[in-house]
């Protein structure tokens, strides 16, 4: 009896480990279906790799098609916007009427008028207070 208690204490952990393995083994079998031999996982992994590559290629093709559709839609919107802006520009130019002077002619006329005004103000201010002889001395 004395030897039976330590022997039971040594066997108890072994029984617990076996019980855990028996519980986890059915869980693994149900998640993957039937248990597989050790030589077929490589074959299965290669088949899964081929399937994933085919799926990836298909998704890339779909993505390219979507990108092309988006780009063509964007190009058509930009063309419509460009046409609308051209029409607005033509309408704005037609509504202005003819210009009398170009921009360069306008600046030239403005400079001439400013020079003439400066000349008149200079003549008037010189004759008001001082005589010519004062400046000569």
pLDDT one-digit tens code per residue, 3-20: 666 766 776 676 666 656
Q: Would you say 101 and 109 are in contact if contact means Cβ atoms under 8 Å apart?
A: yes
pTM of the predicted model as reported, rounded to 2 decimal places = 0.36
**Domain residue ranges in the chain:** 69-94
* Per-residue pLDDT, 93: 83
**What does the DSSP assignment read for 77-104?**
HHHHHHHHHHHHHHHHHHHH---SS-HH
Range of lowest pLDDT (44-58, 87-101, 112-126):
87-101
């Amino acid at each position: 009896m004395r030897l039976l208690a330590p022997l039971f204490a040594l066997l108890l952990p072994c029984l617990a480990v076996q019980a855990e393995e028996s519980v986890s083994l059915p869980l693994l079998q149900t998640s993957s279906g039937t248990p597989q031999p050790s030589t077929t996982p490589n074959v299965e992994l290669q088949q899964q790799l081929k399937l994933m590559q085919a799926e990836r290629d298909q998704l890339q093709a779909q993505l390219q098609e979507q990108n092309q559709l988006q780009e063509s839609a964007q190009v058509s919107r930009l063309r419509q916007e460009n046409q609308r802006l051209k029409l607005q520009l033509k309408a704005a130019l037609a509504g202005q009427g003819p210009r009398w002077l170009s921009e360069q002619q306008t600046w030239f006329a403005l400079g001439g008028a400013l020079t003439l005004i400066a000349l008149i103000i200079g003549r008037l201010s010189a004759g008001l207070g001082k005589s010519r002889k004062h400046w000569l001395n």
